[in-house]
Amino acid sequence: MDIVGKRVRVKAKGRIFEGIVMPSFTDCLVLKLDNGYNVGFKDYEILEVVEEKTISFPTPKLERREGLPSVKIISTGGTIASKVDYRTGAVTSQFTAEEIAGDVPELLDICNVDAMLLYNILSENMKPQNWIELAREVYSSIKKGYDGIIITHGTDTMHYTASALAFMLSTPVPVVLVGAQRSSDRPSSDAAMNLFCAAKTAISDLGEVVVVMHATTSDDYCYIHRGVKVRKCHTSRRDAFKSINFPPLGKVDYPSGEIAWFVEERFRRNERELELRDRLYDKVVLIKFFPGLKPDVLEYYYDKGYRGFVLEGTGLGHVATDWIDTIRRISEDSLVVMTSQCLWGRICDRVYDTGRYLLKAGVIEGEDMLPEVALVKVMWLLGNYDLEEAKKLVKVNLVGEITPTTKYE
Amino acid sequence: MIDYDAVGLKVGIEIHQQLDTKHKLFCNCPTVQRDVEESNFKFFRYLRLKRSEIGEEDRAAKEEVMRSRRFIYKAYDTTCLVEADEEPPRELNMEALKIAVQIAKMLNMEFVDEVHVMRKIVIDGSNTTGFQRTALIAFDGYIDVDGQRIGIATLCLEEEACRKIEDRGDVVVYSLDRLGIPLVEIGTYPDITTPEMAKKVAKKLGMILRSTGKVKRGLGTIRQDVNISIRDGARIEIKGVQDLDILDKIVEYEVIRQLNLLKIRDELRERKAEVVNEIFDVTDVFANTKSKVIAKAIKSGGRVKAILLRRFAGIVGREIQPGRRLGTEFADIAKTFGLGGIFHTDELPKYGISEEEVAKLKEKVGAGDEDAVVIAAGDDIRVERALRRIIERAEYCLIGVPEETRKANEDGTTSYLRPLPGAARMYPETDVPPVRITKELLDVEIPELIEDRAKRYVEKYGLSYDLAYEIADSEYYELFEEFAEKIAPTIVARVLHIIPAELRKEGYDVSVLEERHFRTALKLIADGKMAKEGAEEVLKVFCQNPNASVDEVLKTLSKAGDLDEFIAKIVEEKVDLIRERGEHAFKPLMGLVMKEFRGKVDGKVVAEKLMKAIKMKIAELS
Ligand SMILES: [Zn+2]
């Protein structure tokens, strides 16, 4: 009989304990005592399993209010959606609009919320196929008339998903990705503030895919990052997301919710027609070069049928000269794009000999694109265009992923 | 005199003692106190509780949320991202666990097999995370105090909270230096039945903790919480008793408070009193008020609001603890909502509020002579929320004593802090793996108790018990034992304990004295380089210059010796002058002495010694 979650009376250490059995990952019985503490016992005897009625607290039904914009929240799982039941220790994620409204009641003052749980997966388990399904869901939601879309997402790969949506989806409304660096079951979680700022962004006059997350370690404001210009740059801090090679589009003040825009060249609401091009070519690889790495790695993927290669080179965009022959060979029927592991700055392969040889061998400069963005872009280009067209378009700015000039930020 | 047996007094004590570990409980930062001025970074946060998790009506937590304050945290170069809640915790500090195990063994406790770290929700901002990490290590022990066995319920290892720097009502400033210092929380069963016993139990526990030599000492490193209840009363938790000497008084005053509240209850019931469940806006009554507090509140856009307590007249102003009235309890509640306090009609007209205003106020809310009115002024929402709570509190006057967490004041009275928290706000800390209590961990040595050591000193060295206890309880007891073998133990005790106490009284900063200073003094005596009387002078020198070398100390000593001789000679030679001018002889004599010693001995020292000699001479002459 599975006794996890049940109340039991136990004999251990010569005494009687009563408590609820918690999930255990060792050989100990873990008991939640009535004083709230969990304790583990190695030798024990269960005297009795006490039947207990489970009490559930009904959440109040949400009422739609006239005159407020409507926002759809699509959950893909991750820290922001997870929840621990302190009585049983179980992690749950139902993600209903009622639940969200209960946790972040301020949302109800600014919009009518509908919620759906599309996935409940960790962000490292996201696959390109998930991006496609997500893009379709967003597309059909916008078609239904939502004024803005919020996607809750694990933070680890959020910037990949943001890029994928940005390329696949021409959107007339804001599509906002949001996450949390501290799980939402703790009082200090950044989830509520991020979600509130995301909602403010979702009803703004924007018309593109963005990431909204804490701008600083304080609960003062969130940045609105362009989805193809942002990257997670810290393992744990709230302000882990940074716009790179381009300023954030704006900021949302908390708790006032006021938005200040920093960038004029942004897509506005209804500026673009709703359109979905949801094919992705998945034989694309991102390779980080390091001193001594042999070009065999290219051969390996090429032989496996890969035809998209994004290189994360050194400095201005270099790999060792002993790669040049291999690159020349594979680039005949592949797209080879150079990005930089410096992240900040632009690729320029015309400064040093190595670079010039690489260009001659068929490498295309990825301009100031982030490596992950270039990866997703190549997937999308090869999925929707022939190779020659893709080679041309990879250097062209499509949705803000390439800026014409690099400025001081 | 209260008959504590008759009122059914039950007291339990909870001791929080910081451990003197190298690192904090969940990160590798040092466990050092910092000056707030040294802070190199600050940030701020809000905390919130999800509605779905307050399901079990946890009032304590809910009230904190309603206050929605902003918490500012001061960080240092000795704190890291873990304290800032920007990085997951490291594994449980094993040094701290070992000390906890040792203490639990000294308290005759039984251990869990696997330690699980929990998150105890605390959203007053004192933890950046909104919870305190805590783990139950051991249970069911006992200590014997005066022949009575007092049960020890639990021993938990937890992280210390932030230090509160400033409370501006809606903004609270905390310092991160203290956050994460390991501490043990030891809770007794409610086996204590008198105030005196409460004090004795607390002292005994403190003594046991210090006997390990691994706990922090000094102000704020140990705190007592006291749980008190009487028959028909309620369980009250009193937080943060720092001074053990008033622990008995705190218990006594709490019993008095509860007895008075019960008397008030009976009287209110007899009067058929009731609380009107309505909040009245009375701002216009005070449009031209001379009350500075109210005028200021109105001027900054706030409101004045009132509640009506029918047939409460005279009772709001009634004393329930020395210097504290029922109205003070209401004021405490208002303060927790960021207001300055309240006014009530039992104390009015006063504080700039005129008789006319009181009359208008009563008329406005419809109060008669037997009713009481409570008013509060300030930010509209705060006033509203605070009065809502005060209505609830006033209603409880008819029921009895509400369960509360209270704060200990310096005079032994207590103030309202928050409702007693429910027991259910604990989550597993999933970021910290459980720790097995192994045989090796349990194999710790039990140190000699300070009181046993004191007894040994009495027997072996012939010290009085009090002095022996002081030495045994000091951080220098090992130094004492070392030198007690070489020179008379009473001299060693004098150097280590009595002289520093005297110097402190004279205004010397003895806090700079370290083991090496005492060792130098004792060694000089042991080596025969100095008479035992010289120790005082040596320690004085070290107080003024902690880095003085032994040679420097010896030089001062010899000079001081010469100086004493010289002063004695001068005083004898000029005895007529002293007879004639009394203390006014000081100035000319000082000149004479300084002519000899200028640049060799500090002028202040000379003046001090000379004045003393002159006074003695005067006394001798008269
Ligand atoms: Zn730290």
User: pLDDT tens for residues B117-162?
Assistant: 999 888 889 999 999 999 999 999 999 999 999 999 999 999 999 9
Q: What pLDDT, on a 0 to 100 scale, did the predictor assign at position B529? A: 77
Nearest CA in chain B to A238: B86
What token pair was written down for A69? 């914009």
pLDDT exceeds 70 at position A86: no
pLDDT exceeds 90 at position A246: yes
- Considering only A48-62, A152-166, B281-295, B426-440, which range has the smallest mean pLDDT? A48-62
The B residues from 241 to 260 touching A (CB cutoff 8 Å) are: none
What token pair was written down for B431? 């970021």
- Considering only A98-112, A270-284, B568-582, which range has the smallest mean pLDDT? A98-112
Q: What pLDDT, on a 0 to 100 scale, did the predictor assign at position A60? A: 60
- Give residue A85's pLDDT band: very low, low, confident or very high (50, 70, 90): low
Region B175-180 average pLDDT? 98
Q: Give the full edge-to-edge strand order of the sheet including A335-340.
A: A284-288, A308-313, A335-340, A364-365
Q: What is the CATH number of domain A284-393?
A: 3.40.50.40
pLDDT exceeds 90 at position A206: yes
Nearest CA in chain B to A101: B51
Q: What pLDDT, on a 0 to 100 scale, did the predictor assign at position B105? A: 97
Region A263-282 average pLDDT? 97
B170 touches chain A (CB under 8 A): no
Candidates B156, B114, B120; CA nearest to B138 is B156
Which residues on chain B are in Cβ contact (under 8 Å) with A108?
none
Per the document, the length of chain B is: 622
Which residue intervals of A287-370 are DSSP H helices?
Answer: 296-303, 324-330, 353-360
Inter-chain contact B118–A193, Cβ cutoff 8 Å? no
| Residues above pLDDT 90, as percent of chain B | 72
pLDDT exceeds 80 at position B50: no
Give distance in angstroms: CA of A126 to centre of ligand 1: 33
- Give residue B62's pLDDT band: very low, low, confident or very high (50, 70, 90): low
From the CB of residue B349, how many other CB atoms can be counted at a distance below 10 Å? Answer: 15
pLDDT exceeds 80 at position B31: yes
Region B605-611 average pLDDT? 85
- Give residue B218's pLDDT band: very low, low, confident or very high (50, 70, 90): confident
Q: What pLDDT, on a 0 to 100 scale, did the predictor assign at position B52? A: 45
- Give residue A56's pLDDT band: very low, low, confident or very high (50, 70, 90): low
Which residues on chain A are in Cβ contact (under 8 Å) with B421?
none
Burial B420-436 (b: 16+ CB within 10 A, else e): bbeebbbbbbeebebbe
Q: What pLDDT, on a 0 to 100 scale, did the predictor assign at position B53? A: 47
Give distance in angstroms: CA of B156 to centre of ligand 1: 21
Q: Which CATH architecture has domain B274-397?
A: 2-Layer Sandwich (3.30)
**Partners of A309 in beta bridges:** A285, A336
CB B10 within 8 Å of CB B58 = no
**Which position has the token pair 């269960």?**
A46
Q: What pLDDT, on a 0 to 100 scale, did the predictor assign at position B401? A: 95
Region B70-79 average pLDDT? 97
pLDDT exceeds 80 at position B531: no
What is the rounded average pLDDT for all residues in chain B? 91
Inter-chain contact A26–B123, Cβ cutoff 8 Å? no
Tell me whether 0.85 is exceeded by the ipTM.
yes
A256 touches chain B (CB under 8 A): no
Separation CA A152–CA A75 (nearest Å): 5
Inter-chain contact A86–B426, Cβ cutoff 8 Å? yes
Best mutation target, A86, A107, A233, A238, to test chain B (most B CBs within 10 A):
A86
**Partners of B503 in beta bridges:** none
Q: What pLDDT, on a 0 to 100 scale, did the predictor assign at position B56? A: 46
DSSP assignment letter at A122: -
Inter-chain contact B428–A89, Cβ cutoff 8 Å? yes
Write down the CATH superfamily of domain A70-276.
L-asparaginase, N-terminal domain (3.40.50.1170)
The B residues from 191 to 210 touching A (CB cutoff 8 Å) are: none
Q: What pLDDT, on a 0 to 100 scale, did the predictor assign at position B426? A: 83
The pLDDT tens digits for A290-304 are 999 999 999 999 999
Q: What pLDDT, on a 0 to 100 scale, did the predictor assign at position B28? A: 97
Give distance in angstroms: CA of A191 to centre of ligand 1: 23
Which residues on chain A are in Cβ contact (under 8 Å) with B154?
35, 37
Region A89-111 average pLDDT? 74
Decide if A70-276 and A284-393 have a common fold. yes
In the three-class reduction of DSSP (H, G, I as helix; E, B as strand; rest coil), residue B24 is classed as coil
DSSP assignment letter at A297: H
Question: Which H helix or E strand runs over B238?
Answer: strand B236-241
Q: What pLDDT, on a 0 to 100 scale, did the predictor assign at position B560? A: 65
What is the rounded average pLDDT for all residues in chain A? 92
Domain ranges of chain A: 7-50, 70-276, 284-393
Q: Which are the contacts of B494, defined by CB distance < 8 A and separation ≥ 6?
A: B532, B535
Q: How many CA atoms lie within 13 A of A66 on its CB side?
A: 0
Inter-chain contact B113–A192, Cβ cutoff 8 Å? no
Q: What pLDDT, on a 0 to 100 scale, did the predictor assign at position B54? A: 43
The B residues from 113 to 132 touching A (CB cutoff 8 Å) are: 113-116, 118-121, 123, 128-131
What token pair was written down for B591? 């000149």
Q: What is the pTM of this model?
A: 0.85
The amino acid at residue B333 is I
- Considering only A311-320, B47-56, B221-230, B260-269, which range has the smallest mean pLDDT? B47-56
Nearest CA in chain B to A217: B43
Nearest CA in chain A to B115: A39
Region B81-100 average pLDDT? 97
- Which residues of A are tagged catalytic? 79, 155-156, 232
Q: What pLDDT, on a 0 to 100 scale, did the predictor assign at position B68? A: 62
Candidate from A37, A216, A236 with C-beta closest to B118: A37
Inter-chain contact A37–B135, Cβ cutoff 8 Å? yes
CA angle (B560, B565, B495) in 5-degree steps: 45
Q: Which fold has domain A7-50?
A: SH3 type barrels. (2.30.30)
Which residues on chain A are in Cβ contact (under 8 Å) with B44?
218-220
Write the CA distances from B128 to A80, A312, B68, B123, B206, integer angstroms. 19, 38, 15, 9, 29
- Give residue A241's pLDDT band: very low, low, confident or very high (50, 70, 90): very high
Give distance in angstroms: CA of B75 to centre of ligand 1: 10
Size of interface A-B (CB pairs under 8 A): 130
- Give residue B302's pLDDT band: very low, low, confident or very high (50, 70, 90): very high
Q: What pLDDT, on a 0 to 100 scale, did the predictor assign at position B86? A: 97
pLDDT exceeds 70 at position A198: yes
